[in-house]
Amino acid sequence: MRRLLSLPREGLSLGINMAKTIQDETTLVLRKRKAVLLARFTPPVDLLRASYVRQYLTCGKRNCRCRRGFKHGPFYYLVQCLGTGRVRKFLLKTPEQRKQARAGIAAHLKLQRQLAELSEINTELLRRGES
């Protein structure tokens, strides 16, 4: 079974093979896939490990329309988990900031997918004793 992960903004697709298929591939094919991955492996400078959050809020005014269901917003935030119980959150005020945040998050996702595929290949080569 082959699962294809696509990255819509960059038009790239990364094939990540499930364990059954990768075991069927020859060692030579696995080493070639590993070499291709490592050649493409360059951590992007705009990488962001964060979440992009859209939020609608209510204010504290008694007679404001937000109390009747018409909330203020949308407001866009970049949210980062810093550890147990610690979060950094800040407002993305301009469309350019929002664009950069989405690009940085997409770059992080792409890197995570490349690392997952590399790990899968390394695991199989190690299992075969041919790392």
Task: Calculate helix-pair angle for 27-40, 95-128, nearest 10 degrees.
Answer: 150
Least Cα distance to 109 among 53, 17, 44 occurs for 44
State how many domains the chain has. 1
Residue 100 — very low, low, confident or very high, per pLDDT cuts 50/70/90? Answer: very high
Residue 57 — very low, low, confident or very high, per pLDDT cuts 50/70/90? Answer: very high
Taking only the tens place, the pLDDT of each residue in 72-85 is 999 999 999 998 88
55: domain range? 2-128
Residue 75, number of CB atoms within 10 A of its CB: 14
Taking only the tens place, the pLDDT of each residue in 111-126 is 999 999 999 999 999 9
Distance CA 68, CA 91 (A): 25
Top-confidence residue, 63 or 12: 63
Ranges of H-type helices in 1-131: 19-24, 27-40, 95-128
Least Cα distance to 24 among 1, 45, 7 occurs for 1
pLDDT value of position 5: 39
